Chains A and B, each alone.
Chain A
Amino acid sequence: MSVTKVAAPPQETTRAVGRSVLGTVFKARESGIALALVVLVVFTATQNSRFLSGQSIRDILLGTSILAVLAVGQAIVVITRNIDLSVGSVLGLAAFAVGSLMRDNPGLPVIVALLAGLALGVVCGLLNGALVRFGQVPALVVTLGTLYAFRGVSYLWAGGQQINADKLPASFLQFGTASVLGVPWLVVIAVVVMVVAGVVLRNYPVGRELYAMGSSPQAARLAGIKVGRNTTIAFAVSGALAGLAGVLFAARFGTVDAAAGTGYELNVVAAAVVGGVAVFGGSGSVWGASLGALLLTVIGSALAVLDINQFWQQAIVGGLILLAIGADRLVAVRVAKALKKRDSHV
C-alpha cells in the first residue's frame, strides 16, 4: 500500500504536463495542412502575383466547393470505418438527371434542382447503406460494385447525349457562377454543408456516435449505439452530398454527359486522407477533409500557374497523399509512445 501511495504524487504532475503537450499535438493535424497551404499559396504568389487576384481566388474556391462537398460526405463515412467509392458515379448520375430535368423544364427554380439532386443521392446512398448493413458486405466491395453500376445506369440513360450550356436555363447556369455579397453561391453552399456537418459531428450525439463506431465497433454495440442505423445514415448523407455535388457540377460546368465525375472517387478519398481523416475510422474532421480538398485544388492551380508541366501534377498529388498518411502515422506513434512512457508504472 505504501508503495502506491508514495508513487501517486509525481504521477499527477506528469499528467498535468502531458495535457498541454497533447492538446497541441491533437490540433497539429489540421494545422499542418493549413500551414502547407499557406506556404504553397505564398510561394506561388511570389512567383506570379496574379495567383492572388480576385478572379483566381474565385476560381479556386469554385473548384474547391464541389470537391469539398464530396469530401465532407466521404469524411463522414470514413469516420465510421467504412468507405464510399461510388461518389463519382453518384455525382455523374445526379448531374445528368438534374441537367435533363432543367433542360426539359426551363421554368423550374434552382432550389428544385438542388432538392432533386439531394433526393437522388439519398436513394443511391441508402442502397449502399442497406447492402453494407443488411448484406454484411464490406463497404469497399459494395461501393466498388455500385461505382460500376451507377455509372452504367447513367450511360444507359444518357447514351450519347450531352446536355450543353445552351440547352440549360440561364437562371441555372447563373447559379453556377453568381454570387451573394461577392461570395459565389457554390462556395456558400459548400460552407453551409461543411459547417452543418462539422457542428453535427462535433456537437450532437449522433455525430459522436459515428466517431465511436469507427473507433471501436464492438464497444459501440456494447455502449448501446445503433450501429446499423448510423451506418445507413452515414451512407445516405454521403450519397446526398454526392447528389448535391452533381447539381453544383452541372451548374458550374454547364455541360454534362454520362461521364461526369469519372474517377472523382480517388480525389475525394485523397482529400479526406490528406485532411487527416484516419482510414480506419474514429478520427478526423470535416474541416480537415475540406482543407484537404482546398489543398488539392490549390496544388492543381499552383502547378498550372507556376507553369510546371501538368504531367507532374498527378505524381505530386500521389506523393502528397503518401506524405500525409506517413506524417499522420509518425504523429500517432509519437503520441502513443509519449502516453505509454507517462503512464508506465515500472
Chain B
Amino acid sequence: GTTKDNSGGGTNTGQSNAAADPNAPTKQGVKMAYLPKQLNNPYSDIEVSGGKAALAELKGEYKLVGPNDASASSQVSYINTLIQQQQDVIGIAANDPNAVCPSLNQARSAGIKIVAFDSDAAKDCRDVFINQATTQGIGEGLVKMASDLAGGSGEIAILSATPNATNQNAWIEVAKTTLAKPEYANLKLVKIAYGNDDDQKSFQEAQGLLQSFPNLKVIVAPTTVGIAAAARYVSSSSYKGKIAVTGLGTPNQMRAYVKDGTVKQFALWNPADIGYLAAYAGVALKSGQITGAEGQKFKAGKLGDYTIGANGEIVLGPPTVFDSNNIDKFDF
C-alpha cells in the first residue's frame, strides 16, 4: 500500500525557469488581488492598505477578496474565483501552507504570479514570499523582551494565534531554542495558549493563564489580536502592574496600554510596508524583472531596493520596538 514513507510527500517544484530581465519595463495596469487570511482583521487591513497605495503608485489595479473565517478551504474557493477572473498577481497570506497549494499551482499554470506575504505558502507553489522579518530575529527578539521585563528570571507564557498558524509556530520554535541557551536558564516557559486570533478567546485565555500560573511574570503574545486582548484584560484586572505583557502589536491598538503602564514594550514591523512590498514584488514578477530566484534585485518605491534571498524569500527588515518614548511617532 501507499504509506507515508514511500509516498514521497514532498513534491517536485513548479518554479519557473524563465530568465529574468532586470531591465524590462515595469508593466502598467497589472491586476493584483490580495487574499489575506481573513477579512475584517485590523492587522490585515493595514497590510493590504499598503498594497493599495503601492498599486496606485504603479498604476495597477488593486482588489481585495477573502473569507470571514480564517480557514484554508474558503481561501481555495477565492483562489479559484481569482483564476477565473484572470488576475495577473495574487498576494496571499496562507491559512494553511499546503491546503492552498494545488489551487495556487493551478493559478500559476494560468500565468498568474503568486506573492505570499505575512504567512508563507509551501515553497513550490508561490513565486516569492515577503517575510516581515527573519524568523530567527523575531523569535530571539521576543525572548529578549520577555527576559528584560521579567528581570532575567521567572515564569513566562506565550499567547499565540491558532495552533496551526505557520508564522507563530516558527517563531515559537525559535523562542524555545533560544530559551534553551544558558543566558536564559532562569526563564521558564510554562505554557503556550492559543487565542485563535479571536479577540474574545484570547481574552479568556489570558484570564486562564493568570489563574493557572500565579507566579507568571510575562505574557508574550506574538500576534496583534492576542497582545491587545491580553493587555486589555490585565489593565482591567487586579493583575495590572504585576504582570507584563509584550509581543507583537500595532501602536494604535496598544497606545492606551502603553500609556497606562500595562505594557512597557512590544515590537512590530510596519504591516503596511508588507503589503506595499508585496505589490512591488508582484509587479516586478509580472513585468519579468524577477522570477523569484535567489540574488535577483528589484526596486520597491519608497522602501528602496530589495534582493531575493534563499527560497524566494524577501525580508522586509528588522522590526521596530515600541515603548512610551517612541509610540506617538507611529500611526498604524
Contacts and interface: CB of A to CB of B under 8 A. Distances in A.
Given A155-B68, A255-B229, A305-B212, A160 B253 contact: no
Nearest to B203: A253
A253 to B, nearest CB: 6
Contact of B212 (A48, A59, A255, A300): A48
A162 B41 CA distance: 8
Contacts of A160: 39-42, 45
Interface stretch (A22-30, A49-57, A191-199): A49-57
Nearest to A177: B236
B211 A56 contact: yes
A257 interface: yes
Contacts of A260: 200
B211 A48 contact: yes
Interface stretch (B116-124, B145-153, B191-199, B321-329): B191-199
Interface residues of B, number: 33
B40 A50 contact: no
B330 interface: no
B253 A59 contact: no
Contacts of B209: 304
A50 B211 contact: yes
A300 B204 CA distance: 9
Nearest to B233: A59
Contacts, number: 84
B208 A254 contact: no
Contacts of B10: none
A304 B212 contact: yes
A160 B36 CA distance: 12
B332 interface: no
Interface string B178-211: 0000000000000101100011100111011111
B207 A162 contact: no
Among B40, B193, B203, B253, the most chain A Cβ lie within 10 Å of the Cβ of: B40
Nearest to B42: A162
A301 B40 contact: no
Interface in A298-316: 300-301, 304-305, 307, 310
Nearest to A66: B200
Interface string B249-267: 0001101100000000000
Contacts of B238: 54-55
Given A253-B203, A304-B205, A310-B193, A162 B212 contact: no
Contact of A155 (B40, B207, B236, B253): B40
A227 B243 CA distance: 56
A254 B203 CA distance: 11
Contact of A255 (B193, B228, B255): B228
A48 B198 CA distance: 27
B232 interface: yes
A155 B68 CA distance: 9
B9 interface: no
A253 B200 contact: yes
A301 B199 CA distance: 17
Interface string A272-311: 0000000000000000000000000000110011010010
Contacts of B252: 164, 166
Given A160-B39, A253-B203, A305-B208, A55 B239 contact: yes
Contacts of B236: 173, 176-177
B160 to A, nearest CB: 12
A257 B40 CA distance: 8
Contacts of B237: 55, 59
A228 interface: no
A159 interface: yes
Contact of B40 (A159, A164, A300): A159
Nearest to B36: A160
A253 B199 contact: yes
B214 interface: yes
Contact of B194 (A63, A307, A310): A310
A305 B211 contact: yes
Contact of B199 (A50, A173, A255): A255
A293 to B, nearest CB: 15
A10 B296 CA distance: 100
B253 A166 contact: yes
A259 interface: yes
A165 interface: yes
Nearest to B228: A255
Contacts of B41: 160, 162
B261 to A, nearest CB: 15
B194 to A, nearest CB: 7
B232 A307 contact: no
Contacts of B208: 301, 304-305
A304 B253 contact: no
A58 to B, nearest CB: 8
B204 A63 contact: yes
B171 to A, nearest CB: 20
Interface in A199-233: none
Contacts of B200: 249, 253, 260
Interface string A42-75: 0000001011011110010001000000000000
Contacts of A305: 208, 211-212
Given A63-B207, A304-B207, 17 more contacts: A50-B211, A50-B214, A55-B210, A55-B237, A55-B239, A56-B211, A155-B68, A166-B253, A173-B236, A253-B199, A253-B200, A255-B228, A258-B68, A259-B40, A300-B204, A304-B208, A305-B208
Interface of A: 48, 50-51, 53-56, 59, 63, 155, 158-162, 164-166, 173, 176-177, 249, 253-255, 257-260, 300-301, 304-305, 307, 310
9 contacts: A50-B214, A55-B237, A55-B238, A255-B228, A258-B40, A304-B208, A304-B211, A307-B212, A310-B205
6 tightest Cβ-Cβ pairs between the two chains A and B: A304-B208, A160-B40, A166-B256, A177-B236, A255-B199, A162-B42
